[in-house]
A and B are shown apart, each in its own frame.
Chain A
Amino acid sequence: MKSRIVPLLKKEALHILRDPRSLYLALGLPMMLLILFGFAITFDVKNIPVGVVDLDGTVLSRDLFSRLHASQYFDIKFFKTSSADVESYLDRGEVRFIIIIPSEFSRDISAGKETGLQLLVDGSDSNSAQVALGYMAGLVQTFSAKILLEKVQRSGISIPLHLPPFQIEPRVWYNPELRSTNFIVPGLIAVLMMVIAAMMTSLTVSREWEMGTMEQLIASPVKPYEMIIGKLFPYYVLGLIQTLLVILIGQVLFGVPFRGNLFFLFLVSSLFLICGLGIGLFISTVSKSQQLSFMMSLILTLLPAFLLSGFLFPVASMPRLIRIVANLVPAKYFLTVLRGIFLKGTGLAVHWQEVGALFVFAVIIVFACTKKFKLSLE
């Protein structure tokens, strides 16, 4: 007996090839979004605009200033000797914080009195303010240690001690320069693949509902599983091409290393694509208009993939209940594996749990679609 799947596949391929919009949705859009977001989303805080007010005007305060100046983290926007009207720079957002060196700075230090640096911080962007404060604290600590050491030396006491007594000697693995791009891009690939996959299938099926061709198919001897394979497979192939493209962009444009096994990537991507395409198919059994399908697939895939997958916020630091929900998001597993493949070069031996979870998801969603397709005859 001839298979009914072949004509279904052929038909779907013709739809895709004749409709430039679907090709754009599948290939153009993710590439564009990856390029856009890849450049826009960064956690690296460098060249923070700051202002310096030096009320002291001594050698010591100049020394501190030159240290700030030499640091690549700070970009000094102004240097003043009076604090009049400096807050307006914060209001206008021209600087992130203002360092005020008090007038008794040098004198207090010489006298051995406690003294402080005033820091006016724009906390509206709390994340980068925190990072900037961290840099600043580090800088001040080194500076204080240096002053202490000089004092001790000048007093003639010789102590066999290095100041500060000990320091961290970090050796960062996998991403030695701590580029946030290396962290963002693999995550972004997972988010984009999920959203686009769900959208592709949900739109193509709801289009058939809108056109009335679905009714024709239901009245024909086509079986639900044939229908599902006929819809999934062409978009699966398209999804793989899309995956390959975005990974190439990640490497070529963003310089994200690829240290893992290509075949393992293919395997995991396949499972993940089936999850995404299946979710789309499931949506289309509920929603029979393209507009609703579009909205539903956007909300049901984009939000979880963005917020609960660990793309931006680590799942481990979420509240317990949210963590449980996050475990139901396929993108969470795929993202972990992708970061592993890209940065660590890890394979199935490390990621078998995630691969297992994706496999279970894929099976459940395809099974649910087959069931639901029968019921949707109503």
Chain B
Amino acid sequence: MICIEVNQLTKQFGRFTAVNNVSFKVEKGEIFGFLGPNGAGKSTTIRMLCGIIRPTSGSASVGGYGIDSFPEDIKRIIGYMSQKFTLYQDLTVEENIDFYSGIHRLPSKLKTERKRWVLKMAGLMGRETTLTRNLSGGWKQRLSLGCAILHQPDILFLDEPTASVDPASRRDFWDLIYDLSDLGTTVFVTSHYMDEVERCHRIAIIYNGKIIASGSPKKLKVQYTGNSESSLEDVFISAIKREKENEK
């Protein structure tokens, strides 16, 4: 079942084209990795899909809802974790959780249940009354994830979720993403770390606003380097090389 469908999506900021005619599909329950250097258009794509900004042209649907016509419906079924740490620093762990479950209108019983689940998942049991600004990076990031999935969204958008955390926390974080995917959540994740994108079911490489390669990591390796044992980094480099040759 197709969960996210993007057709020739384009976003221009003035004369600068951030996302250029991008099309792809994501299956339900899949972990879809969006790989690309900084400024390639990863965040812009995610922000269009989450209804934060409007596309210049093209269309997309998320969970069956068109992003132009039903942005409010999309917002109910997605979870979004932006690149920046966006919890309220002057609120405690518990207050942040309560706020997000409040704006998603969770019923009281579910609210208590989910709060306990998030605290446990993030390893923040016993730290409910700590001000969020006093948490370390890994904790903050797991709490962010927790707040983004309090309402058990069908689709989870993660924008560079591991950009500012240590390698051990990154590994834990990806284990969590796997668990969510096993439970049927579709995960759309952007990253510029090759090693972690390796763990995605399928990836798309975006460069200068265009998708230059997509498929499962294994397929891409064979396609671009002829060797299924080579690294994604090699795939990335050779894909960019081919793209540049095509441009000429």
- Contacts from A to B (Cβ < 8 Å): 1-4, 6-8, 10-11, 14-15, 18-19, 211-213, 215-223, 377-378
Contact = CB atoms under 8 A, between A and B. Distances in A.
B78 interface: yes
Interface string B43-57: 000010011111000
B52 A212 contact: no
Contacts of A211: 84, 86, 88-89
B54 A377 contact: yes
B24 interface: no
B78 A219 contact: yes
B80 interface: yes
Interface residues of B, number: 29
A57 B100 CA distance: 88
Interface in B61-115: 72, 75-76, 78, 80, 82, 84-91, 95, 98-100, 102-105, 107
A94 to B, nearest CB: 55
A4 B89 contact: no
Nearest to A7: B102
Contacts of B103: 4, 7-8, 217, 220-222
Given A7-B102, A223-B72, 10 more contacts: A1-B105, A15-B91, A211-B88, A217-B103, A218-B51, A220-B75, A221-B75, A221-B76, A377-B54, A378-B53
A221 B99 contact: no
B95 A212 contact: no
Nearest to A9: B102
Tell me the dominant secondary structure on chain B's binding face.
Answer: loop
Contact of A219 (B51, B54, B88, B105): B51
B104 to A, nearest CB: 7
Given A221-B76, A378-B54, A2 B105 contact: yes
B102 A6 contact: yes
A212 B85 CA distance: 8
List the 4 shortest-distance A-B pairs measured between CB atoms, nearest first. Answer: A7-B102, A212-B84, A219-B80, A212-B86
B88 A213 contact: yes
Nearest to A216: B86
Contacts of A18: 90-91
A216 B51 contact: no
B50 A219 contact: yes
Contacts of B107: 2
Contacts of A7: 98-99, 102-103
A377 B95 contact: no
Contacts of A215: 47, 52, 82, 84, 86
